[in-house]
């Protein structure tokens, strides 16, 4: 069997007379010394686990504090003179590389053959669009489309109900509180004399270009100061964790919601029916199939020609030299960062972080007793028809057939 603090697994069982074999999935079990006639009249069973992973709010806060201090230190190191120079060089080469990559695209787009091909594709799509609109005016098509829209609306309502659940709202309240702390930290930073002065100059500046330069300077300094603020970093770390918890909860609730699962299945069925109907209706317009084929062929030829043109340009020495220089500059920047971070003692992992312990505790808290099992006398391999010989012998020995 599988204890409660381990993942659930398969089991095979049978009746006391060695008949009625079946299989299922179990997450934990309990052995009773005495067989009762009415288990429902007994007191509630004890918690499924005898031991739980210890992970307190203090542990989480200590891990968050260490992570925030590391991020603050990294932000300070990123402002060192050498890293600033290396980072500026990487950005400069990245821009040159992007410009060089864009050049053959612009050249190809300006070619007369390209302009002609794109115009032909546009005209073919317009003709096909007229025939497609006739297909969509079919009564059966319209009815199916309305059913799909109604199904999608029902799905949205069920998803909204999930987001209005007590657990989801509790996480949303936490998230709002964390966002409030982040906003307070940002407001405190904006009140610093440096930022107040830059904003004053930007408000008084009449020249749009100079105003844009001042605003860019303001935003750059604000981003740097924000990353160096311990309280902001703490709030940001908590915010990311709560957002992840909320996404995980929503995904779990969506997967376990019976009504939503039915609606998703219905939606897939309706979409499949609509796709099949569309192909049938298109068959009544032979010209539409020809137009679709022509569009597909011309687009494929245009894509091939574009790729050939770009590959030819990328084979030139200039492109190769820029690519090598960009890669070398990026490596130099990473190496210098690693050296500085290691010297400052922030290069390793968080010694207080225990993500596996957090996940294990969340799993342990979700463990509960079940009185039923989703079972089938066949194993998964038997259902798919892929039972290896060794497993056949094992089943014969254990199950009897």
Q: How many Å apart are CA 91 and CA 101, to the nearest integer?
A: 15
What share of the chain in percent tops pLDDT 90? 39
- In which band, very low, low, confident or very high, does the pLDDT at 4 lie, cut at 50, 70 and 90? very low
| Domain segments of the chain as ranges | 1-53
Span 7-57, pLDDT tens digits: 455 566 666 566 666 666 655 555 545 555 665 666 665 555 555 556 677
The helix or strand, by DSSP H or E, that contains position 8, with its residue range, turns out to be none
Span 192-214, pLDDT tens digits: 999 999 999 999 988 899 999 99
Mean pLDDT of the chain: 83
Span 225-267, pLDDT tens digits: 999 899 999 999 999 989 988 998 898 888 888 888 889 889 9
Higher-confidence position of 258 and 326: 326
Q: What is the dihedral of CA 4, 9, 12, 13, to 10 degrees?
A: 20
Cβ-contact 373, 25 below 8 angstroms: yes
For residue 315, what pLDDT is reported?
77
**Concatenated DSSP letters of 198-249:** HHHHHHH---HHHHHHHHHHHHHHHHHHHHT-HHHHHHHHHHHHHHHHHHHH
Span 56-102, pLDDT tens digits: 777 888 888 888 888 898 888 888 889 999 999 999 999 999 998 89
* Confidence (pTM): 0.63
Span 263-283, pLDDT tens digits: 988 999 999 999 999 988 888
Span 152-204, pLDDT tens digits: 999 999 999 999 989 899 999 999 999 999 999 999 999 999 999 999 999 99
| CA R_g for the chain | 32
Cβ-contact 23, 379 below 8 angstroms: yes
For residue 11, what pLDDT is reported?
60
Cβ-contact 223, 189 below 8 angstroms: no
């Amino acid at each position: 069997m599988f204890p409660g603090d381990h993942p659930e697994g398969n089991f095979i069982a049978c009746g006391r007379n060695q008949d009625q074999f079946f299989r299922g999935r179990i997450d934990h079990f309990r052995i009773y010394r005495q067989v009762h006639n009415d288990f429902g009249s007994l007191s509630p069973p004890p918690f499924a686990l005898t031991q739980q992973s210890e992970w307190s709010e203090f542990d989480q806060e200590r891990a968050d504090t260490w992570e925030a201090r590391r991020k603050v230190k990294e932000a300070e190191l990123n402002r060192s003179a050498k890293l600033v120079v290396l980072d500026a060089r990487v950005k400069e080469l990245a821009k040159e590389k992007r410009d060089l990559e864009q050049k053959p695209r612009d050249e190809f787009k300006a070619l007369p053959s390209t302009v002609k091909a794109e115009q032909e594709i546009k005209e073919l799509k317009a003709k096909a669009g007229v025939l497609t609109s006739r297909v969509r005016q079919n009564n059966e098509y319209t009815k199916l489309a309305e059913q799909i829209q109604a199904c999608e609306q029902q799905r949205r309502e069920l998803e909204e109900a999930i987001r209005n659940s007590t657990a989801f709202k509790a996480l949303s309240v936490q998230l709002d509180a964390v966002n409030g702390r982040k906003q307070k930290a940002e407001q405190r930073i904006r009140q610093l004399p440096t930022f107040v002065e830059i904003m004053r100059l930007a408000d008084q500046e009449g020249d749009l270009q100079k105003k844009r330069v001042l605003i860019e300077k303001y935003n750059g300094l604000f981003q740097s100061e924000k990353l160096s603020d311990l309280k902001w970093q703490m709030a940001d770390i908590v915010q990311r964790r709560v957002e992840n918890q909320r996404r995980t909860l929503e995904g779990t609730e969506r997967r376990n919601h019976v009504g939503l699962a039915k609606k998703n299945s219905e939606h897939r069925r309706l979409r499949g029916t609509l796709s099949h109907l569309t192909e049938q209706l298109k068959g009544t317009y032979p010209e539409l199939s020809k137009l679709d084929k022509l569009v597909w062929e011309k687009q494929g030829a245009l894509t091939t020609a574009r790729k050939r043109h770009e590959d030819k340009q990328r084979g030139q020495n200039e492109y190769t030299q820029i690519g090598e220089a960009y890669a070398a500059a990026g490596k130099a920047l990473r190496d210098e960062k690693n050296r500085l971070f290691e010297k400052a003692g922030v290069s390793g992992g968080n010694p207080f972080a225990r993500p596996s312990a957090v996940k294990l505790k969340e799993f342990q808290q979700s463990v509960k007793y079940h009185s039923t099992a989703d079972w089938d006398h066949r194993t998964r391999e038997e259902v798919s028809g892929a039972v290896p010989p060794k497993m056949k012998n094992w089943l014969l020995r254990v199950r009897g057939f």
